[in-house]
Amino acid sequence: GAKEETAANEAKTGLSADEISNEAFKDLFPLQYDSYLKNEEMEDTKYSGSEKRSKFDHDKEPYLPILFNGYGFATEYNEDRGHIYALEDVREIARITDKSVGSCLTCKSTAVPHMIEEMGDDYWGGNFNEEIWPKAESMGHSPIGCSDCHDPETMDLRVTRPSFIKGMEAQGIDMSNPTKNDMRNYVCGQCHVEYYFAADNSEVTYPWDNGFKPEDMYEYYETVAKENGFNQDWIHNVSGTPILKAQHPDFETHMTGPHGEAGVTCSDCHMPYERADGKKKISSHHWQSPLKTMEQSCATCHSNRDLDELEERVMDIQETHMEALHKAEDVSITSHYYVNKMITSGVSENKIKAAQEHVRKGQWFWDIVAAESAAGFHNPQGAMDTLKMSSEESFAAIKLATEELVKKGVNIEELDKEIEKVKKAVYEEVDNFKKKDLATNDYFPAQQPK
Amino acid sequence: GAKEETAANEAKTGLSADEISNEAFKDLFPLQYDSYLKNEEMEDTKYSGSEKRSKFDHDKEPYLPILFNGYGFATEYNEDRGHIYALEDVREIARITDKSVGSCLTCKSTAVPHMIEEMGDDYWGGNFNEEIWPKAESMGHSPIGCSDCHDPETMDLRVTRPSFIKGMEAQGIDMSNPTKNDMRNYVCGQCHVEYYFAADNSEVTYPWDNGFKPEDMYEYYETVAKENGFNQDWIHNVSGTPILKAQHPDFETHMTGPHGEAGVTCSDCHMPYERADGKKKISSHHWQSPLKTMEQSCATCHSNRDLDELEERVMDIQETHMEALHKAEDVSITSHYYVNKMITSGVSENKIKAAQEHVRKGQWFWDIVAAESAAGFHNPQGAMDTLKMSSEESFAAIKLATEELVKKGVNIEELDKEIEKVKKAVYEEVDNFKKKDLATNDYFPAQQPK
Amino acid sequence: MFKRGIRKFLSMDKRMLLFIGVFTGIILSVVTVKGLAYTDSPEFCGSCHIMNNVHDSFANSTHAELSCSDCHLPHDTLINKYTNKAKAGIGHVYYNTLGEDKIPQVLHPTENTQEVVNQNCIDCHQSTLDNVSHDAKDSCSSCHQAIPHGNDFKTEDYFKPAKSGELLENKGGTMNNG
Ligand SMILES: [Ca+2]
Ligand SMILES: [Ca+2]
C-alpha cells in the first residue's frame, strides 16, 4: 500500500539510491508498474500511434529517403512506440553502425546517469557497439525506467540528464527550484527535445541559448554551434548541402504553444490520473497518444466541450498541418535536385553555396516540424509559421538555381520531369532499404564526399 | 422599467415594422442606445482599434499602394472604426467614384433592406452618387442601426441582407430555423464577409458554395463565378494580372477557427454583457476590439486564466501573424514586378499567362488574410496556412518568370535592385494619395488597359 | 491571480461601517440554528439575482447535493466560518445596495475565496489525494475548471431558436448572468 509511505518527509522506499532496474520498483508500486507494462500495447491513431511502422509508408512521409539521402534516416526510420521498447528499438535500428557513439544510448537506458557519473566525458564519445551497450547490459539497465524520472529512495521527480539542465540554464532559466508543475514538463524535456552531438566530445547538447522557437535554434546553429566546430549532421547526397538533422522537439514546441503557454504540462495529457485497480487513482504510466484517453486527458479541463467534437477539432488541426508539411517537403525536394543540377552544370562555386544556404534552412524548418510528434497539435500556429518559412527558403534556392541553370542552357522542363521520375521510383520501390538508392542516378549523381 | 413588458409573447415595442432610424429606439431602449453612442470613441490597440488611420501607415501595411495598384484601394484605404461612422466613411472615401454602384451602400445604411424590397435588382446596379445615396438620405437612414439586426416590432434578431441567406443556402446550410447562438454569429455575418458584385446585376454575392476556407472560395471564383461572367475585380497595373480583391472575411475566418468551431460567437466577444447603469446587464452595443474589454469579453469563459497572460498570448499570436503577413506581401510584390518585366521583355503570351495565374492566386491568399480584422486571432493556424499558400504561389510565379527572363537575357540582379528602389519610393512618399503613382515608372511601365 | 480583479473590499468607503453594523445585526438577530442553516443553503445564496448563474451551474453539477457554504466557507472553526461569512456577506449586501456601480462586470472569486474553496476540496477529497499525488498545480480548479460552476459556457437555451419577443422582455437585462 501507498499509505505507509505518505507518512512524512522522511518516507523512504528502502530502495538503493542507485537502483536502475524497473523490476525493483514492482512490488512497492504495483499499480504504476502495471501501468508501465501497458506500454507494450500497439495501436495506431490516424497520424501517430504505437505500431512499429516505417515512416516511409505511403500514408506517412514517403519521400524521406530522398530528403535524408546520405544519412542513416534514409535507411531506416520508424514511428516511435512505447517507452518499454526503447532498448530493443535502438539496438535493432540500422542507423546504429560500428561508428555510433555512446550518446545514442542517452535517452534509452536507465544506466546512462551512472555511466556519465562514472566515465565523465568519455561516455558520450565511447563506441556504442563495442563499449557502451555491453557496459549498460552488464549494469542491468531497463528501457526508460522509474529511475530516469524518480529518485528511487523518495520517488521525488528529478532530472537525470545533465544536458537538459545545461540547455535550460544557457537560456537563462533558473533550474534551482522548479515547481511540481515545472517538473511535470521537465522529466519529459530531458529526452523529447532537439539535440546535437558536440563537435569535440560528442556530448548530447540542446541548442536553446536563444529560445525554443525553430528560428531561435537555427540562429544558435549558425553562431554558437559553428563557433564550437559543429557545422552539420551530414552532407546531403543530392545537393551536397551541409544539413542539420532535427529531432523530436516535443518539449520546445509544446512550451511555445497554446497549452504550454497556459501552464499545461506533458504529464497532464500523457499521464492523466486514472483509476488503476477499480479503486485507487494513479498517474497513468502508459505514455501514449492522448487521443486514446480523451476522457481522462482532456475532459477534466475541457469538461464544457463535447469530446467527439473536440477530437474532430484535433483532427482538423492535424489534417491542415500534415497537408502543409507534405507540400513543404515537396518544395524542399525540388530545391535539392535543382542544386544537384547546378553542380553538374558547372555553375560557379559561390552561387552553389548561396543556394545551399537556402536549402539548408528550408530543410531545417520542415524537418523540425516533421520531427515533432503531435502532427501539429502541440502548437498549430507555430508549426505552420515554421512550414511557411521552410517553403520560402526552399523556393529562394530554386529561384537562384533557375537563374543560373538557364544561363548554362539547362532545360528546366526536362529537369522537372527528371525530378518527377526519381520521386516516382522512390515512392514505388517496395523494399524500404532500397528506396534511398533510387534518389540518385545518372542524371542526378550522388554528391556526398566519399 | 422592464417589468411591464415581460408580460407575454405578444410583447411589442409599438414601433413600426418599417422603422429605420436609430433615434426611434432611443426612448424604449436607452441603455442599448447609450451603449451604441459609444461607437463614437476612437482608441487604438496595437494592431487594430478605432482611429481613422491610413492602412498605408508605416506601422500597418505600407506597400499596399503597390499591391493594389490600379484599384481604388491603392488610393485610399483606412482602418475601420465604429459602426456609427459607416455612412460618413463610405461618403468620404475616394474609392467611391461617379461609376460606383448602389451595392456599396449595402452594409452601411439601415435603408438598404427597404430599397431592395422596393427596387428589386435595380438597387444593386443603381448609381451610388446619383440615385442610391440621395434616396437613402431622403428615407432618413441611420448608419448600421437597430433595424439591421432587430425586428423593430419585437426586437427579435433577424437577417436583413438577402445575400447572406443565399450564400449560406448555397453551401447547404439550413437557414429556416437558426438557434439563438447561430443568430449571434449571423447578424454579423451579413456584413463582415467576403463578397463580390455579380457580373450581370452588381448584386452583392458571397462565394461560399464550396465552403468558408480561402481555398474553397478561390475554387468558387475559378468555377461558378467565372461561369457567371465574373473574372476579376481589376487588372493589376504592375503585372497586368486579373485580380480578385478580398474583403473582411471575419465571419468565414472565425467560423473555421478555434472559437467558431467551439460554438463561440462574435457577440460573445464583441458584445459582452456589461453592467450598463451600474445595475442592469445589457449586451454591449459598442462594437470594438475585445482587447479593450477583456474582463467582460474573455473572462466569462477563461476565468481560470490570468488576463494579463491571456492578453500576452493574443499579442504573441498577432505578432507571429503580422510578421508572416508582411513577408507574404513582400513575395507577392516581387512576383508582380517579375511579371511586369516578362511583359516588357517580350516573353511569350502563354508563359505570361501561366505566371499571372500564380500571381493571382498568391495575391488572393495573402489578401484574404490581410482583409480579415483580428490580426490572425480569429483563426491562428488557418490564417498561417493561407499565408503559406500565398508565398508558395507567388514564388511559383517568380520561378517561372526567372526562367523566361534569363532566357531573354534580362539581368536579374538589376531587376531586383529596381524593385527595391520602387518599394523605397512608395514607402518614403509622405502623401498617401501619391504613393500609388510611384509604383510604376519607366523601368516598370503601367500595364492596366486604359 | 486576477491582477485586474477588483479588490474593492479593502477600499470601501465609510458607508461600509454602517453595513457592518447592519449585517452583523441581521446575523445576530436570526441566530437560531435554523436561521443559520438557511443562510448556508443554495436557496439563500441564490436569492440574489446576481447569483443566478452560479446557482444554476451549481444546481446542474455533480455537487448539487452540497450547500454553497460547504465550499465557500472555512470549516476549521465555527468562529472562522462566521467571521468569513459576515465579511463576505457584508460585501454582497453592500454591492447590492449602495455599491452597485462598483460591482465588477464579471464575478471573480477573490483570493480569499480561492483559498477557502481549495481547502474544502482537499478536505472532502482527502482519500483521492491520499491515493495519488494530486497537487501539481496552484489549485484544484486549474484542472477541474468546471467544478461546480462553468460547465457549459452557454445554457442549452442558446442552442434553441429564440422565442419571439424574448429580447424585448429582457431589454433591461434581467437574464444575463445576473
Ligand atoms: Ca508513436
Ligand atoms: Ca478598426
Set of cell numbers at residue B7: 408580460
What ligand is nearest to the CA atom of residue B288? 2
Question: Residue C120, by phi and psi: left (phi above 0), alpha (psi -120 to 50) or beta?
Answer: alpha
Give strand pairing partners of B243.
B234
Mean pLDDT by runs of 10 across the 450 residues of chain A is 46 93 96 96 94 96 98 97 98 96 98 97 97 97 97 97 98 96 98 97 98 98 98 98 98 98 97 84 95 95 90 98 98 98 98 98 98 98 98 98 98 98 98 98 94
Cα-to-chain-centroid distance, residue B102 = 18
Q: Are B193 and B164 in contact (CB under 8 A)?
A: yes
Residue with cell 506517412: A60
Please, what is the angle between helix A307-344 and helix A349-370, to 10°?
A: 160
Strand ranges in B276-314 using DSSP code E only, listed in sequence order: 281-283
Please check whether residue A344 touches B, CB under 8 A: no
Q: Are A126 and A99 in contact (CB under 8 A)?
A: no
Contact between C161 and B177 using a beta-carbon 8 Å cutoff: yes
Name the residue in chain C with its Cα closest to that of B295: C106
Q: How far apart are CA A50 and CA A78, in angstroms?
A: 10
Report the pLDDT value the prediction gives residue C169, as an integer from 0 to 100: 78
Of C101, C105, C169, the CB nearest to B5: C169
- pLDDT digits over B322-371, tens only? 999 999 999 999 999 999 999 999 999 999 999 999 999 999 999 999 99
Ligand 2 center to B82 CA (angstroms): 7
Mutation test of the interface with chain C: which of A157, A304, A310, choosing the one with the most C Cβ atoms within 10 A? A304
Number of CB atoms found within 10 A of residue A58's CB: 9
Please, what is the angle between helix A307-344 and helix B380-407, to 10°?
A: 20
Task: Tell me the chain A residues in contact with residue B385 when contact means C-beta distances shorter than 8 Å.
Answer: 320, 324, 384
Please check whether residue C154 touches B, CB under 8 A: yes
Phi, psi values for residue B242, rounded to 5°: -75, 115
Q: Categorize the per-residue pLDDT at B239 as very low, low, confident or very high, splitting at 50, 70 and 90.
A: very high
The alpha-carbon gap from A348 to the nearest alpha carbon of chain B, in Å, equals 16
Task: Tell me the chain B residues in contact with residue A398 when contact means C-beta distances shorter than 8 Å.
Answer: 395, 399
- What's B244's DSSP letter? P
Cα-to-chain-centroid distance, residue B375 = 12
Q: How far apart are CA B124 and CA C124, in angstroms?
A: 67
Please, what is the angle between helix C111-124 and helix C78-96, to 10°?
A: 140
Q: Output the tens digit of pLDDT for each of chain C's 178 residues.
A: 333 333 333 344 444 444 554 455 455 544 444 555 667 777 777 777 677 778 887 887 888 888 888 999 887 766 666 666 666 666 666 565 555 556 677 777 888 888 899 999 999 998 888 777 788 888 898 888 888 886 667 778 889 999 888 888 766 543 333 3
Number of CB atoms found within 10 A of residue B49's CB: 17
Q: How far apart are CA B64 and CA B56, in angstroms?
A: 6
Bridge pairing between strands A234-235 and B242-243: unpaired
Q: Are B236 and B66 in contact (CB under 8 A)?
A: no
Q: How far apart are CA A25 and CA A343, in angstroms?
A: 58
Report the pLDDT value the prediction gives residue C129, as an integer from 0 to 100: 83
Of C3, C154, C168, the CB nearest to B181: C154
Q: With the CA atoms of A30, A36, A42 and A48 taken in that order, what torsion angle do they form, in degrees rounded to the nearest 10?
A: 150
Please check whether residue C157 touches B, CB under 8 A: yes
Contact between C132 and A6 using a beta-carbon 8 Å cutoff: no
Task: Tell me the chain A residues in contact with residue B327 when contact means C-beta distances shorter than 8 Å.
Answer: 388, 392
Question: Residue B172, by phi and psi: left (phi above 0), alpha (psi -120 to 50) or beta?
Answer: left
Question: Residue B229, by phi and psi: left (phi above 0), alpha (psi -120 to 50) or beta?
Answer: left
How many alpha carbons fall within 13 Å on the CB side of residue A135? 19
Contact between A300 and C131 using a beta-carbon 8 Å cutoff: no
Task: Tell me the chain B residues in contact with residue A317 when contact means C-beta distances shorter than 8 Å.
Answer: 381
Set of cell numbers at residue C9: 473590499
- pLDDT digits over A153-207, tens only? 999 999 999 999 999 999 999 999 999 999 999 999 999 999 999 999 999 999 9
Give strand pairing partners of A127.
A101
DSSP string, A22-48: GGGGTTT-HHHHHHHHGGG---B-SS-
Name the residue in chain C with its Cα closest to that of B15: C168
Contact between C136 and A300 using a beta-carbon 8 Å cutoff: no
**Of B6, B17, B23, B445, which Cα lies nearest the Cα of B238?**
B445
What ligand is nearest to the CA atom of residue A46? 1
- What's C139's DSSP letter? S
The alpha-carbon gap from B326 to the nearest alpha carbon of chain A, in Å, equals 12
Report the pLDDT value the prediction gives residue B280, as an integer from 0 to 100: 77
Mutation test of the interface with chain B: which of A256, A402, A408, choosing the one with the most B Cβ atoms within 10 A? A402
Bridge pairing between strands B281-283 and B273-275: antiparallel
Is residue B229 over pLDDT 90? yes
Contact between B391 and A387 using a beta-carbon 8 Å cutoff: no
- pLDDT digits over B18-65, tens only? 999 999 999 999 999 999 999 999 999 999 999 999 999 999 999 999
How many alpha carbons fall within 13 Å on the CB side of residue A47? 22
Give strand pairing partners of A204.
A197
- What's B360's DSSP letter? H
Is residue B6 over pLDDT 80? no
Residues B277-306, mean pLDDT to the nearest whole number: 89
Contact between C146 and A283 using a beta-carbon 8 Å cutoff: no
**Of A335, A352, A406, which Cα lies nearest the Cα of B403?**
A406
**Of C40, C53, C14, C68, which Cα lies nearest the Cα of C174?**
C53
Of B8, B32, B300, the CB nearest to C106: B300
What ligand is nearest to the CA atom of residue A374? 1
Average pLDDT score over chain A:
95
Report the pLDDT value the prediction gives residue C3, as an integer from 0 to 100: 35
Residues B78-106, mean pLDDT to the nearest whole number: 97
Q: How far apart are CA C24 and CA C5, in angstroms?
A: 27
Q: What angle do CA A42, A43, A45 make, to 5 degrees?
A: 145
Residue with cell 482599434: B49
Please check whether residue B384 touches A, CB under 8 A: yes
Number of CB atoms found within 10 A of residue A309's CB: 13
Ligand 2 center to B48 CA (angstroms): 5
Q: What angle do CA B220, B223, B225 make, to 5 degrees?
A: 70
Contact between B180 and C4 using a beta-carbon 8 Å cutoff: no
- Ordered domains of chain C (ranges, CATH): 40-170 (1.10.3820.10)
Report the pLDDT value the prediction gives residue C11, as an integer from 0 to 100: 41
Q: Print the SS3 string covering C27-40.
A: HHHCCCHHHHHHCC
Ligand 2 center to B416 CA (angstroms): 35
Residue with cell 461560399: B208
**Of B260, B37, B25, which Cα lies nearest the Cα of B150?**
B25
Set of cell numbers at residue A281: 487513482
pLDDT > 90: what percent of chain A? 94
Q: Are A239 and A356 in contact (CB under 8 A)?
A: yes
Please check whether residue A416 touches B, CB under 8 A: no
Please check whether residue B8 touches C, CB under 8 A: yes
Q: How far apart are CA A403 and CA B222, in angstroms?
A: 31
Report the pLDDT value the prediction gives residue B303, as an integer from 0 to 100: 82
Q: Are A158 and A151 in contact (CB under 8 A)?
A: yes
Ligand 1 center to A79 CA (angstroms): 5
pLDDT > 90: what percent of chain B? 93
Residues B226-240, mean pLDDT to the nearest whole number: 98
Residues B75-91, mean pLDDT to the nearest whole number: 98
Q: What angle do CA C137, C141, C147 make, to 5 degrees?
A: 150
- What's A270's DSSP letter? H
Ligand 2 center to B365 CA (angstroms): 21
Name the residue in chain C with its Cα closest to that of B301: C153
Task: Tell me the chain C residues in contact with residue B300 when contact means C-beta distances shorter than 8 Å.
Answer: 106, 153, 177
Report the pLDDT value the prediction gives residue B275, as an integer from 0 to 100: 81
Cα-to-chain-centroid distance, residue B428 = 27
Please check whether residue B12 touches C, CB under 8 A: yes
Residues B66-70, mean pLDDT to the nearest whole number: 98
Number of CB atoms found within 10 A of residue B241's CB: 29
